[in-house]
Structure 1
């Protein structure tokens, strides 16, 4: 039985092999197969399954070792597992085959930055940016900014992030990184401006709301700070670290709001304490009585005695008149009903903040532009942390709705950005 089974098994296997060998793949089939494996590898790479990505990308590389896309993808995959020498090899092969592929220069720059070769990394980022056909320049600029920060070149770091946002106004990480940098530098108005710009671009992100909440907190706008912190808290999700930070800031803001209210109450109590009491007339009359005490004159002559006598008479008459006035005041207080005191509440006036600048010249420039269009702007100075800032405002309005309508109808069509704020007058 064994002699019969073995030959059958070998025959079947041989037929399978010979069947495969007799049908070689054409060039088109090879390209199709390499692209097929490349797409599978790329999907695994994007989902974070690096092992499977490397497996399928290598299968694509075996079929077509000169495809720059496959080489670039393998470089990314090996960079993710920190096999930098192999990754660099694939990136350089890709550049050699296709020197105009800007993405490969950016990816190689990221690899070099991770190795700590910052100068070389900057060089490759700049090479990528030189390509006029590069559609994702914001990626090179953002990575360049991170490298400049590691090098300690903060002006270049800030400049690169601003360029990143200019090339792609929806690049969320650039807003977050730049805004948080401004907060660390205590440039709270700059932080407010960059986070507001992100929100105006339609970006919804807990880190952006959190950043704007922090900016408002340090600017002393505690109610607005709490509003954006609460918005961040609602959409945080599973980010526990961010949730702890947001809750911590909400607690700080609540404390400041309570302190402000206590100060307002104390201020109102002080104002009430300086109101003249109702029986002040009696006090004034009693004071007048004390001032009318008789002057003691030595009894040396009859002339002096007569003067004393006349003074006593005058004192007695004055006293009777004063007592009569006191009685009149008492009767008036009994007969006249007391009217409740009116508490004067501060009026709230709304205005539109069109711009905030650290230089007066910039504020004047915006103000002149508004005046040419027929508006009546004001420039208000405010000192924050020892630095002067210039606020360009238009107002005042009786309600938030009135101010908001004015902005939408008159300022927004002219391309101005603004925010409705209020002040107690």
Structure 2
């Protein structure tokens, strides 16, 4: 009886265990859920740039599900970032083997092969990705094709690939910047202007686009417009010191060019004013043949005849004046006074004054140190304070001078030999 009771209890326990055991499909679902959980964590670390953590969690996902093409692709990207190309290549190839219709993996493998220097193979995989009609980001593959052609030295295909990139995605910023800068290096400034203008018209706001357009304007001789876009590039540069330094450097050059241009215009206007209207400049006649005398040109004959006419008119006027009474003469004088044209008032234009900017400082102490050094040399410097983008700057200057040339000579003779670096600028006073 006891044995029968024990057997019944054991049977009941086994029934309970087997009834609670999950089905095979449930285990599979749980396994996939776990792999996806680790994959998502690994992907977030990969996107944030923490590659070590990304590799750790992606490998955990790979251990659970080694046949998932997305996990394999992500591991390939992670190992590419740490330059473990052989391992990365294995994961990419395995992913393509499992899912040959995934264009993103072809692009990633193409990028890896390009980094290794296998350009022909890289181009094959990237073109394969573009051929896929389901590929939504063809511009990424095309941009990488452009980069490879530039490394290969094939500039026509490099340019063509960038144009195709922009045609597929008119908001792909890097394509505009790379193509525009290429045009500037090739001295194709009108093409550079066109491509950077197209980027701005597409609504793209980027310091490198503003900088590129400003350079295009500068090389085309449009200095006022160039200055405007150099200022915009500097304003939106943020922490990008390269853009800020380039913008500041070119703003100083542009200022000089604007001054030089205006000085030339002023000189041109002054030279025009010196030539009085109605003045006839007599040209020297060609030499006549030796032995001929009394030969007078038609011009001289005309001049003589007009002089004779004036003399006869003068004599007739004198005769009539003697006969007329004095009152009439006074009345004539009054009429002459009334008909005299009014002299136009002189318009006072603002004067341009030039000065030498010795330095710009974000702290007053540094500006004062330079100021004192200049004072010790017997010079008369000034410190001008100005707020730029919410930051106060201190400008150490010496001036003012009547012309750019005078200011430039002062800098070369007085400041440069003492080791001071300066630049000539101007202001309207």
Cα deviation, residue 256, structure 1: 1.1
* 1:340 pairs with 2:344: yes
Provide the rounded CA distance (Å) in 2 between the counterparts of 1:246 and 1:36. 47
Provide the rounded CA distance (Å) in 1 between the counterparts of 2:118 and 2:221. 43
* 1:269 pairs with 2:270: yes
Provide the rounded CA distance (Å) in 2 between the counterparts of 1:338 and 1:144. 74
* Residues 245-303 of structure 1, C-alpha deviations (whole Å, 9 max, x = no match): 111111121111111111111111111111259xx99xxxxxxxxxxxxxxxxxxxxxx
Cα deviation, residue 241, structure 1: 1.3
What does residue 41 of structure 2 align with?
40
* 1:179 pairs with 2:183: no
Provide the rounded CA distance (Å) in 2 between the counterparts of 1:220 and 1:125. 41
Provide the rounded CA distance (Å) in 1 between the counterparts of 2:277 and 2:179. 56
What does residue 145 of structure 1 align with?
146
Query: What secondary structure sits across from 1:132 in the alignment?
Result: coil
Report matched runs for 1:372-383 at 5 Å.
none
Provide the rounded CA distance (Å) in 1 between the counterparts of 2:171 and 2:250. 26
Report matched runs for 1:18-29 at 5 Å.
26-29=27-30
Query: What secondary structure sits across from 2:170 in the alignment?
Result: coil
Provide the rounded CA distance (Å) in 2 between the counterparts of 1:243 and 1:118. 35
Change (3 A) 1:269 1:30: same
Report matched runs for 1:12-411 at 5 Å.
26-276=27-277, 339-340=343-344
What does residue 370 of structure 1 align with?
none
Provide the rounded CA distance (Å) in 2 between the counterparts of 1:45 and 1:161. 28
Say whether the 8 Å CA contact 2:211–2:233 is kept in structure 1.
Answer: yes
Say whether the 8 Å CA contact 2:233–2:243 is kept in structure 1.
Answer: no
Provide the rounded CA distance (Å) in 1 between the counterparts of 2:107 and 2:254. 42
Gap regions ≥5 residues in structure 1: 1-21, 282-313, 325-330, 346-425
TM-score if structure 1 supplies the norm length? 0.61
Query: What secondary structure sits across from 1:26 in the alignment?
Result: helix
Query: What secondary structure sits across from 2:134 in the alignment?
Result: coil
Taking only aligned residues, the RMSD between alpha carbons, in angstroms, comes to 3.0
Aligned length: 279
Cα deviation, residue 340, structure 1: 3.1
TM-score if structure 2 supplies the norm length? 0.61
Provide the rounded CA distance (Å) in 2 between the counterparts of 1:34 and 1:250. 56
